[in-house]
Amino acid sequence: GNSVTQMEGPVTLSEEAFLTINCTYTATGYPSLFWYVQYPGEGLQLLLKATKADDKGSNKGFEATYRKETTSFHLEKGSVQVSDSAVYFCALRNYGQNFVFGPGTRLSVLP
Amino acid sequence: EAGVAQSPRYKIIEKRQSVAFWCNPISGHATLYWYQQILGQGPKLLIQFQNNGVVDDSQLPKDRFSAERLKGVDSTLKIQPAKLEDSAVYLCASSSPMGTAYEQYFGPGTRLTVT
């Protein structure tokens, strides 16, 4: 079946540090890949997405590239801010099927 | 555009009591989802509606959980009777199929504590 694996958290960084959160997946076919972010006390928000191999999703300084050869969709940001502190979920969805979410990675950014 | 609305935001009940959650999706979104998010885990789909019909309820514990979407808009999720392991955040999401990747829009969730 389909599954998503994420690096375990929590991840603690200083402001302006470089961020990488690893995500790998197992799926049949050609799923679409997503990163969702959940700020404290709020629901999940779509951060970025990629629908086919080699696509790069980007938003708010975050980027992730769909790598089919390594079945990965790692999230990166060049310079994190305190306001980026949240839980980040990697997810996939195959056509006609429902979303499968990873367990989430908590990021804390210290001033 | 108004987002997905949920109520209540917080609920504390004792085990064996019943509880109901309400969701109002984004206007025009035909598909509605209920997820259970246990602390430290990703959301797990409980049930999916397309308009007022059930598309997928394979992971819904039907002996205690029920959900309805009578007019294809608002939805209610009920737990009766609640167990300690039902403590979680219950998220409602809605989507409208566009293109090849369906984006889901999530509400703020209802945090349920069963004591």
Q: Give residue-wise pLDDT tens across range A30-77.
A: 899 999 999 988 889 999 999 999 999 999 999 999 999 999 999 999
- Kindly list the residues of chain A whose beta carbon comes within 8 Å of any beta carbon in chain B: 4, 32, 34, 36, 41-46, 49, 51, 89, 91, 93, 95, 98-99, 101-104
**Nearest CA of chain B to the CA of A16: how many Å?**
26
**Nearest CA of chain B to the CA of A14: how many Å?**
23
Q: How confident is the model at residue B99 (pLDDT cuts 50, 70, 90)?
A: very low
Contact B29, B95 (CB under 8 A): yes
Amino acid at B97: P
**Nearest CA of chain B to the CA of A36: how many Å?**
10
Question: For residue B1, is pLDDT > 80?
Answer: no
Distance CA A62, CA A48 (A): 8
Burial of A107 (0-12, 13-18, 19+ CB in 10 A): buried
Q: Give residue-wise pLDDT tens across range A1-25.
A: 889 999 888 999 999 999 999 999 9
Question: For residue B15, is pLDDT > 90?
Answer: yes
Q: What share of chain A is helix, strand, coil (3-state, %, to 5)?
A: 5, 50, 45
Q: How confident is the model at residue B59 (pLDDT cuts 50, 70, 90)?
A: very high
Distance CA A103, CA B11 (A): 24
